[in-house]
Amino acid sequence: MSDSAGWSLTESDPGVFTGLLHELGVRGVEVEELWGLDEALLRDLTPVYALIFLFKWVGHADPATMDGKLEEPEGPHYFAHQVINNACASIALLNATLNIRSPDVQLGEELGNLQAFSEGLDPETRGWTISNSEKIREVHNSFARSDPFHLEEHRPQDESEDAYHFIAYLPIGDKLYELDGLKPQPVSHGPIPGGPENWTNHAREVLERRIATYPAGEVMFNLMAVTGRRAALRKLLAETEGDEARQAEAFDAREKLDAIDERLRDWETENTLRRHNYIGLVHALLTELAKQGKLAPQIAEAKEKMKQRIADRRAKGEEVMEED
């Protein structure tokens, strides 16, 4: 895999993922965070097109013992490899989105062209096509938190740091598939009991088995749903307009839609703040506080805390830098 030069890390945040899709021109879907996979919760998000799962990456599983099996889906499908570091969030999201087959979802010009261009390409070439797309890279990087001290040169990853990875689960045909850009093929989890409309129940069982392989108490997981709920609620409101017998249903739909629209506005504000570089504001505040002589106590307190940390590390036999 190539290094991460030119691609920033992406937060596991539904507002970020929704913003990514919308700025790429996708309409008819949003991304919602999930705190569980119970039926009532998923029913409220209907239709759920895919699940995006974030987990601690511990290396490639042995194909002989892995849950599911490597298998190419029958019929049309999209699967791209991750060929560059830090791109797994966008790869998982695109692998999910480009497999949605719904008239209520519009891919937009950028992803529509990508899908058409990728027809017949192998997964690795599709991965390079995504990684070489200036538009996708620009949108991906636009959601990175502003870092005024970012260095362009590549820094080798510290092997002691935990690595996290995004993958997608979704139905293709009558089977549940796991799309992991680091694996050579999609992973089939077999036919969906009860048919494709019950795919989230099957996905819950698969996810529970996967989480159970981690040590007890491990909580570094995150799950999000790619959903068309907003478009479905709008369609429902149009269908119930003027129908007196369905006014209670329409009222409930309007309340849910208003809540979603408010959340989207909040996410837009959060994304704007996420992108802003605050170094100028912080510098101006510190300069003014220094002029007023109000930083001396804080500086003295910080020095004492540093001395204590150094003393604690020395007591543990750790190597430390000499004090200034």
CB 186 within 8 Å of CB 70? yes
What is the b/e burial string over 159-192, where b = at least 16 CB atoms within 10 angstroms of the residue's CB? eeeeebbbbbbbbbeebbbbbbbebebbbbbeeb
Task: Detail the DSSP E strand segments found in 23-142.
Answer: 30-34, 48-56, 69-70
Query: Amino acid letter at 28?
Result: G
Catalytic residue among 22, 140, 165, 202: 165
Q: Which two tokens stand for residue 67?
A: 């849950």
Strand partners, 172: 175
**3-class DSSP string for 227-264:** ECHHHHHHHHHHHHCCCHHHHHHHHHHHHHHHHHHHHH
- Inter-residue contact 178 to 168 (CB < 8 Å): yes
Sheet holding 30-34, edge to edge: 30-34, 222-227, 48-56, 164-172, 175-179, 187-191, 69-70
Residue 88 annotated to the active site: yes
Annotated active-site residue 60? The verdict is no
Label the pairing between strands 164-172 and 48-56. antiparallel
Residue 200: how many other CB atoms lie within 10 Å: 24
Q: What is the DSSP string of 212-232?
A: HTSPTT----EEEEEE-HHHH
Q: Which two tokens stand for residue 94?
A: 């695109």
List 81, 88, 140, 189, catalytic entry? 88
CA distance 224 to 219: 15
188 is written with which tokens? 């089939």
The residues annotated as belonging to the active site are 88, 165
